[in-house]
Structure 1
C-alpha cells in the first residue's frame, strides 16, 4: 500500500488528511478517486512531493509499497 497525503484546502476537498491506496501508476490511482478530487489534485498550481522530494513532472510516476505522495496547494498569506 501507498499513501496519498492532502495538505491545506485539499484536505477539506478530500475529506481526510491521508488516504491509503494500492501501489501502482499515479495515473491509475488518480483515475480511481472521486472525479472532483482528482480535478483539484491535478490543478495547475498544486505541487506534488514523492517521499519528501518535490516532483517537477508526474509523467510515469509509479508508487511502490510504503511510498507517500503529498499534494501541496498554493500557499497565500497576509
Structure 2
C-alpha cells in the first residue's frame, strides 16, 4: 500500500528527487515528516499547493491520500 509523492519545479531541487513513495494512508503531518525539513517549510507557505489524486486541495492540511494516490507538490506559478 503506497502513495507516490511528486515534487515539481523548485521543490524538486530542494528534495533532490522527482518523486518518492510513502506508506498509505498519508495525511498532512505524515507528508511533512516524509519530505524533509526544507520542503516541509515550503509546503507550509500559503502559495504552495498540494494535489491529491488529480485534485488541488482547497485546504492542504486536510490531505488524506490512500493506496495508489499520487500527491503532487505544486510550487507557485510565476508569470511573465
Scaled by the length of structure 1, what TM-score is found? 0.85
| 3-state SS in 2 of match to 1:59 | helix
Q: From the two aligned structures, give the one with the greater helix fraction.
A: 2
- Using structure 2 for the length normalisation, give the TM-score: 0.83
Superposition deviation, residue 29 in structure 1: 2.9
Give the paired residue count: 78
Question: Relative to structure 2, which stretch is displaced further, 32-41 or 14-23?
Answer: 32-41
- Structure 1 gap segments, 5+ residues each: none
List alignment gaps of at least 5 residues for structure 2: none
The alignment's C-alpha RMSD in Å is 1.5
The structure-2 alpha-carbon separation of the partners of 1:26 and 1:59, relative to structure 1 and needing over 3 Å to count, comes to: closer
Cα deviation code 1:23-52 (max 9, x no counterpart): 122312312432122111222200111111
SS at match of 1:56: coil
